[in-house]
Structure 1
């Protein structure tokens, strides 16, 4: 035995003198940096039982008489090299071969039909070459074959019925070729089949009904073909299945609820088909699920909350469908991002998912505020009232109710939803949810227990030290910088003033009230409006011409900065030109 494996590093050609070792039985040279052609006398050591040159940089052609001198060879491994030329027919003379591994080389031409004479073969790997032509019909003579890999070649024609006669076949890999026609109906005969990969071919027609009787199969990839038809309820028969990929086909109809019976399934992809109907509640029973991709279909309805029970789910993609309703928030959904849900009809949920805020019922708000009792009243604004309330979850919130008799209030509701539902910053008031119907519109926001900056500036019961004032102004500067430069669409607040700055329990400032804010389109530095901000805080060009720009927010910020440190409003006499000051 001569063993020179990846535990050492050898360079250069294989010495031809190795061919003089006439009693050598095992030659193991895998995982080195050997290069160049292999001398023909190395392939004529008649006592060899195992010859492994895999994972090197060997090149050139295999000797045309290979096999003639290898009467005792059981395994020939030339995998992952740079061999070229045709696979010699003489290789069939090595009649005791059980493993023939020629994958990941540059072999070309057809698969020799005489390989059918290697009746002892258990494992045949010709993947990753440049082979063309048809699968030879003689392959049905390999009755003991268990593993067949022809992936990544240029093979064409049909997936022949002769494969179904290899009853011991456990893995069949034919991906990334140019096979046409339909999937053989006789696949049901392969009762030992565990893995099937027919992906990235040109297969058409429906998946044969008999396919769903392969009860011991653990992995199936039929993606990137032109398969049509529906997914039958019998899919639940594949009880051992761990991965199933039917993506990039033309499959129609509903996903059958019986799919929930696949409790060993870990990866499921139905991406880019024409599926419709609801996502079955039974998905919640697929307790082993780690990856789920149903994107780019016509699925409708809501996302079942039962999916929250899939504790092993690491990836989900439901984008580009017609889904609506609230995105579940429990279990694995706490870790998913907006990309999992984009381009649906009407989804709502957490702001970080870039969808409409989750909706809260009017009845829940009524209960949470004791019927909007006066004791929960926080204040009155231009477009409505604000109340304190408690949601059914126990969370304390502020509820902004819009006056529907004012046209501007309706516009303000839409603006606030558009402007800040998709924003995330520690110094912006977070919208938690909304409640909207014909007669009632409200936004549910995080509650700020320390009230407004205005209250702290002008109430005798509150006092801010100089450091607190400085930190508050830094917080608001950070919020404005994010609005102007940190979001995908720049936003101009238009109404920066102390009453729109709210303070949380740690006295961190949060900018609120986006009711008259404006979104600047791509490359626009300013727009015009007829909606006016608060006198004293708005920039001169805003008041006189209705010009809205980020510079206007900066102007308002400067006015507020002066107010915070002087405790004088901008309309105070001390700021009016020509009037005497007591300072």
Structure 2
């Protein structure tokens, strides 16, 4: 066995002990196991004083392991007599060891950005982490004591490797752990994730993590937000997720899940945001019914279903979810008509039901939703006309999309009273007649799509000029080919329904 000699300054309250003018010499062996009685004994080696778990000590025996590299980095800097940080407390040394292991385990030298990492003289609270703009992750990565509370990389940073178990040495402080668009991060979610008892936010998205959900997620009693998407997780959702009593946001997207959502999830008292999109064979139809039956306090509900052969009717009791602000059910095989109970959702800001097989006429109940900012009923089988005398009620509406339906008749003049409207799409419908001049009242309009309709006549010149100055792309000289949406101006032909498009380029 090779014995290493490590020179440490023995400190007392941040000052060198007066009992000796010479630094202490501590013998340490890299393969020394952690003693079972260590919690009640004074540490006899620096390694034992760190109180590292057995799996770390075992891995450190391999010279090129991330754990071994991190430990060598640690002791070299601890023994550096010129360092201004010679008297760091043990918890700071353990914290730095955990971060260094993460760095080596994910090939930190190859990160796009790694400013400050492993610079001993730089406080680890200033080691660079990357966040998405307006991310919900905390701005500060340490608390006032200097404990790391966030380990979050939410922009592509070329991390490559696995999540080392040593991350869980931060369990007494870590509140946010997120990896976003780190496609070369592999391995599984370790069962040791249950040690992060302070964790409030866990986000894993855009990685190559495989395996199943660890049941130990149920130990994260402080967890408020769980977001897992675009990974290779498979299998069933563990019922233990329902034990996370503080969970308010659950997001699962593009996973290969099977079975049903555990009933325990419906008992979560504070679940306010639920998003499940393209999760393989997961039974989201029953989920929707159960969410309604249990009157979950949901503010945000976004579900999709890709299960083959699944057809369902729009649930008539949807009105019981009175707290809903966002209802998004995209690309379901929902048939039948929309229930009048939709009108009970008075807090609704966004109603997005595009990509279904909804038939019948637009229910007048929709026009009771006076707080709506977005109404998207595109790609359905709605018939009849756009009800006049009702659109003016939706005074807060910013986006109106009724494209790709069987809607006929004319465009109501009341559309011009939607003063906040920015986006208007009527393409691929049976609308006819002329576009009412009242549309000129839409001063905030930036996107207008009317192609493949039976509309005729001239577009008001003032509207054409205004849209040309903003965002415009027009094809042909017929209203049915009008598309005003993109960031460039390209005119094929010299006129657009009778008004000048401005400079034309072939």
Q: TM-score range by the shorter chain?
A: 0.5 to 0.7
Q: How far off its partner does 1:148 sit?
A: 1.5
Matches within 5 A, 1:103-502: 103-133=253-283, 134-136=285-287, 137-140=289-292, 141-151=294-304, 153-154=306-307, 156-233=311-388, 234-308=390-464, 310=466, 313-315=470-472, 335=489, 337-338=491-492
Alpha-carbon distance in 1 for matches of 2:387, 2:501: 38
Q: TM-score, normalised on structure 2?
A: 0.61
Alpha-carbon distance in 1 for matches of 2:462, 2:189: 60
Cα separation, partners in 2 of 1:88 and 1:340, compared to 1, 3 Å: farther
Alpha-carbon distance in 1 for matches of 2:480, 2:231: 49
Alpha-carbon distance in 1 for matches of 2:494, 2:350: 29
Are the counterparts in 1 of residues 343 and 369 from structure 2 also a CA contact under 8 Å?
yes
Cα separation, partners in 2 of 1:317 and 1:230, compared to 1, 3 Å: farther
Gaps of 5+ in 2: 1-148
Alpha-carbon distance in 2 for matches of 1:340, 1:90: 65
- Of 156, 168, 178 in structure 2, the residue corresponding to residue 29 of structure 1 is 178
Equivalent in the alignment of 2:163? 14
Question: Does residue 89 of structure 1 match 2:239?
Answer: yes
What's the CA shift string for 1:536-576, capped at 9, x where partnerless?
xxxxxxxxxxxxxxxxxxxxxxxxxxxxxxxxxxxxxxxxx
RMSD over equivalenced CA pairs, Å: 3.4
Alpha-carbon distance in 2 for matches of 1:45, 1:15: 14
Alpha-carbon distance in 1 for matches of 2:295, 2:186: 33
Are the counterparts in 2 of residues 139 and 162 from structure 1 also a CA contact under 8 Å?
no
Instruction: Determine helix, strand or coil for the equivalent of 2:312.
Output: strand
Gaps of 5+ in 1: 355-423, 425-486, 488-583
Alpha-carbon distance in 1 for matches of 2:410, 2:491: 26
Q: TM-score, normalised on structure 1?
A: 0.53
Alpha-carbon distance in 1 for matches of 2:160, 2:419: 50
Instruction: Determine helix, strand or coil for the equivalent of 1:210.
Output: helix
Are the counterparts in 1 of residues 476 and 492 from structure 2 also a CA contact under 8 Å?
no
Are the counterparts in 2 of residues 297 and 321 from structure 1 also a CA contact under 8 Å?
no
Alpha-carbon distance in 2 for matches of 1:341, 1:43: 65
Alpha-carbon distance in 1 for matches of 2:400, 2:493: 22
- Of 148, 153, 170 in structure 2, the residue corresponding to residue 5 of structure 1 is 153
Cα separation, partners in 2 of 1:304 and 1:6, compared to 1, 3 Å: closer
- Of 87, 90, 98 in structure 1, the residue corresponding to residue 248 of structure 2 is 98
Are the counterparts in 1 of residues 151 and 174 from structure 2 also a CA contact under 8 Å?
no
Alpha-carbon distance in 1 for matches of 2:451, 2:493: 11
Q: How far off its partner does 1:131 sit?
A: 4.1
**Number of corresponding residues:** 344
Query: Whose radius of gyration is greater, 1 or 2?
Result: 1
Q: How far off its partner does 1:110 sit?
A: 3.7
Equivalent in the alignment of 1:76? 226
Q: How far off its partner does 1:281 sit?
A: 0.9
Are the counterparts in 2 of residues 121 and 142 from structure 1 also a CA contact under 8 Å?
no
Alpha-carbon distance in 1 for matches of 2:353, 2:372: 14
Deviates more, 1:269-278 or 1:154-163: 154-163
Are the counterparts in 2 of residues 287 and 309 from structure 1 also a CA contact under 8 Å?
no
Alpha-carbon distance in 1 for matches of 2:502, 2:438: 28
Are the counterparts in 2 of residues 261 and 286 from structure 1 also a CA contact under 8 Å?
yes
Instruction: Determine helix, strand or coil for the equivalent of 2:370.
Output: coil
